[in-house]
Amino acid sequence: MTTVSFFVPRTRRNVELLLLLFAVGIVLLAYLSVGLAVGGAVPIDIVTQGSWLLGFVVAFHLVLRWRAAYADPVVLPIVTLLNGLGVVMIHRLDLAEGRDLAEAFAPRQLMWSGLGIVIAALVIVALRDHRRLRRYTFTAMVAGLVCLLLPLVPFLGVELNGARIWIRVAGFSFQPGEVAKILLTIFFAAYLVQTRDALALAGRTVLGFPLPRARDLGPILVAWLSSLAVLVLERDLGTSLLFFGLFVAMLYVATERISWITIGLLLFSGGAYVAYLLFGHVRQRVEFWLDPWSPEALAQSSQLVDGLMGMGAGGLFGTGLGRGNPQITPFAESDFIIPSFGEELGLIGLCAILMLYVLFVERGLRTALGTRDGFGKLLATGLAFSVALQIFVVVGGVTRVIPLTGLTSPFLSSGGSSLLSNWVIVALLLRISDHARRPTPDEAPPPVTPPAGPGKAVIA
Amino acid sequence: MSELTLSAVRLGVLVLLWLFIFSIVGVLRSDLYGTRIVHRSARGRNTIRPTRSSPTRPRRGFSILAVVDGQMRGTTVPLREAGVLLGRNPECTLILDDDFASGRHARVYYDDKSWYVEDLGSTNGTHVNGERIDAPTPLTDGTQLRIGATVLELRR
């Protein structure tokens, strides 16, 4: 027998501050550990670097106190810890590779982290109510698709490491696909909250399997075709998998119909098989996945094997930060940062990092459950799920669960565009969670998109 | 730098990482927010405390929606002008623990001086005075609203 009651929500901002100090402390200890192991002395800049990090995150914390007092208290500490550990690992790889200050990745990563925090704070300040994003449903779609296809424009797009996902403007390179991820999540959420009743209720049942109407299949086919276009034209397996998976998951959450997942999986496996037959780079990835130790695979790339051997060398407790050899693996600071952590922090440390991601995603989904408007629910689910799927693709790729695809681990990997967009995701989730946890005022304000007359279904 | 210090720092990072995770889990355990489900004793004693965020609204005529029959008999929900959502989903204002209720089953809302109930495409329908409704239906004094095995009434 159950019933419902309301209870007084707490802001928990002081808990957030404590956890932030804890997170910064762990990052500094990790930095100290690198310094002791590599240089044999306490790094001289530990205080300045620490105060930079502390200054930025405490400033963001104050913005939250000011503009989103009821936002989730654990999201910011988790993200701070992940971002800080990423910078420490990149710094450690800089030292191992002997990069001097001009070409080192860590200062740049730190700069991008600061920029990401500033942009996230701006999002919190400027966006007072996430439901305002619903006004830009189709703007978000067009902008998202443009961002997705921008690297294909001649002279603007750059092909790096076999994938054409970068643009270069005035010396700065950027991955517009990361921004497209957020824009398309906004579009999916706004679109599905409008159409979910038609998608969920209409259709026939064939052999106990509810089939949607043919015309409702349109959007899923568009999502499928554009993700295939990314796969074929930009040769980016990871992004293509991420977008399609995101759309199918949001469709399922919006409609509660398992048939969408079945249809999505069938479409994906069909598309993937055709891509396997047609394209050499897909076939190569699958061969590396099935047998990375074969002489043919090793002759082309030992990256996956290096990562696996690194994690094996780390064992249960790891070699300790600064005492392993993660720099042997190509791209140890971006795509292969997870094996780098596996080698130096061991299985125990890697599990802790995965646990941080789990908690982050859980807070996103909890926000989705708690929020009272359908758009916020879908948006929070989509953002949290995109992070979860990205982690699955990255960790699955480097541990040989699925074929390796080039995606960054959110917050850890070196890369400005990925950091910026992930900080924006954090800002959006904090904004929605503030809305979800704020006590309802007695006179509920009218929703931004007013529900139509009594004859129409409620937008809940 | 001695090997002992290095090992201590190295293990310290791991220990602190996990301490951090456990402290977050500790925060979360005491920070379950939103609607809370209170399990009541089988005797049906109403143990919900009156809440601060539930204003009574005498000028509107009706102020509460009361469950008069079914498993949750005795439960009341304050009527809000924004509408009261009934159903099994946790987002609903009144969560019906009823096998015959849908996730988002029906909505009770205020429009132009009277209260209406509207079915939200539920599987088993919403009944007002024994009749299944297919359009928003006004609720007056003593109107019995039935969803599955739950009967509700508006109260002043």
CB B87 within 8 Å of CB B109? no
Dihedral of alpha carbons A76, A78, A79, A81, sign = positive
The DSSP secondary-structure symbol of A460 reads: -
Q: Does B30 touch chain A (CB under 8 A)?
A: no
The DSSP secondary-structure symbol of A440 reads: P
Q: Is B5 helix (H, G, I), strand (E, B) or coil?
A: helix
Beta-carbon contacts of B10 under 8 Å, excluding residues fewer than 6 positions away, are A33, A37, A317, A318, A320, A321, A323
Least confident of A13-27, A215-229, B19-33: A215-229
Extract the tokens encoding B137: 């239906």
- Rounded Cα distance between A295 and A135, Å, is 55
**Residue among A353, A148, A156, A346 at smallest CA distance from A230:** A148
Beta-carbon contacts of A173 under 8 Å, excluding residues fewer than 6 positions away, are A158, A160, A166, A167
B-chain residues near A346 (CB < 8 A): 14
- Rounded Cα distance between A217 and B81, Å, is 37
Residue A442 has pLDDT above 80, yes or no: no
* Chain B: residue whose CA lies nearest to A452: B111
Are B10 and A2 an interchain contact pair (Cβ–Cβ within 8 Å)?
A: no
pLDDT tens profile A121-155: 999 999 999 989 988 888 988 898 888 888 888 77
Residue from A1, A2, A3 to probe the interface with B (highest B Cβ count within 10 Å): A3
pLDDT tens profile A288-311: 899 888 888 888 888 889 999 999
- Rounded Cα distance between A201 and B4, Å, is 66
Among the partner-chain residues A345, A440, A444, the one whose CB lies closest to the CB of B14 is A345
* Model pTM above 0.90: no
CB-count burial class (<10 Å; 0-12, 13-18, 19+) for A87: buried
A-chain residues near B13 (CB < 8 A): 26, 29-30, 33, 321, 345, 349
Are A349 and B13 an interchain contact pair (Cβ–Cβ within 8 Å)?
A: yes
**Residue among B71, B64, B68 at smallest CA distance from B108:** B64
**Residue among A402, A400, A417, A325 at smallest CA distance from A92:** A325
**Bigger pLDDT: A441 vs A132:** A132
Interface of B with A in 74-103 (CB under 8 A): 75, 77, 80-83, 85, 90-91, 93-95, 97, 103
Share the mean pLDDT of chain B: 78
- The whole-number pLDDT of residue A455 equals 41
Per-residue confidence at B96, pLDDT binned at 50, 70, 90? Answer: confident
Are B109 and A454 an interchain contact pair (Cβ–Cβ within 8 Å)?
A: yes
Extract the tokens encoding A245: 């998976």
**Residue carrying the six token digits 């276009």:** A229
Q: Quote ipTM for the complex.
A: 0.86
Q: What are phi and psi of A352, to 5 degrees?
A: -60, -40
**Residue among A268, A311, A304, A270 at smallest CA distance from A286:** A304
- The whole-number pLDDT of residue A405 equals 83
- The whole-number pLDDT of residue A457 equals 40
- The whole-number pLDDT of residue A22 equals 95
Residue A97 has pLDDT above 50, yes or no: yes
Residue A43 has pLDDT above 90, yes or no: no
